[in-house]
Amino acid sequence: MKIQPTELPGVLLLDPDVHEDERGFFLETYNAARFAALGVPATFVQDNHSGSRQGVLRGLHYQIRHPQGKLVRVVRGEVFDVAVDLRRSSAAFGCWAGAPLSDDNRRQVWVPPGFAHGFYVLSEFADVLYKVTEIYDPASERTLLWNDPRLGIDWPLVDGRLGWAREILGCDPRAQEHRVREIQPARHSDFPTPAERPAYSVLDCQRAEEAFGVRLPPWREALRLAMSESS
């Protein structure tokens, strides 16, 4: 297996040894001893399978408690996979790295705990498999805005479009009546050591309008409207 470091310390690209013949191919996708020797000394507790259509962007997700390390690969199609360094002690804090993963290159990416992770589907459909080091904890899940200018992620959008709002929210991003899932801000008490919460961990009305071209009323305006409708 060949290992390639990325711009982010700890994030690794893993190219497996593939044995091919007239019958097809064989490869090892995980071997605890070999992966530990390569710098992936992880104990995985859960395997996940995600299927998505072209133009769907999933992420950028992270957990403030029980942070997950992820070993990610694609078994059908192609995605552009991204990690963002959220370790405040890291010199690369706030920086990102991305790479294509596909059923053709059979590459895996190791994303250690302390990173946000997401991917964008380039093919007509993609099946993504990933092993994680901690179970999913919805109470501590947070999300970074995919197009926050302070991150500056260069997503290779298909035909210049993004299907995330339509596919995940099940709505037309231009519609005024759709709902955007609220993303709770991280609290200082959620961090094991005192730290200032990154401002880009909250999706506010202004950023929703910039991302989707839809104006969401401020909470005071929405409250007045709700009270007038109930009276």
Active site residues: 61, 130
Candidates 152, 146, 109; CA nearest to 15 is: 109
| Angstrom distance (rounded) from CA 207 to CA 214 | 10
Which pairs from 48-51 meet CB under 8 Å and 24+ separation? 48/129, 48/130, 48/131, 48/132, 49/127, 49/128, 49/129, 50/127, 50/128, 50/129, 50/130, 51/125, 51/126, 51/127, 51/128
Residue where the block lists tokens 């982010």: 8
CA angle, 136 then 142 then 148, to 5°? 140
The number of beta carbons lying within 10 Å of the beta carbon of residue 58 is 19
Contact 200, 151 (CB under 8 A): yes
CA angle, 227 then 213 then 202, to 5°? 70
Strand partners, 158: 161
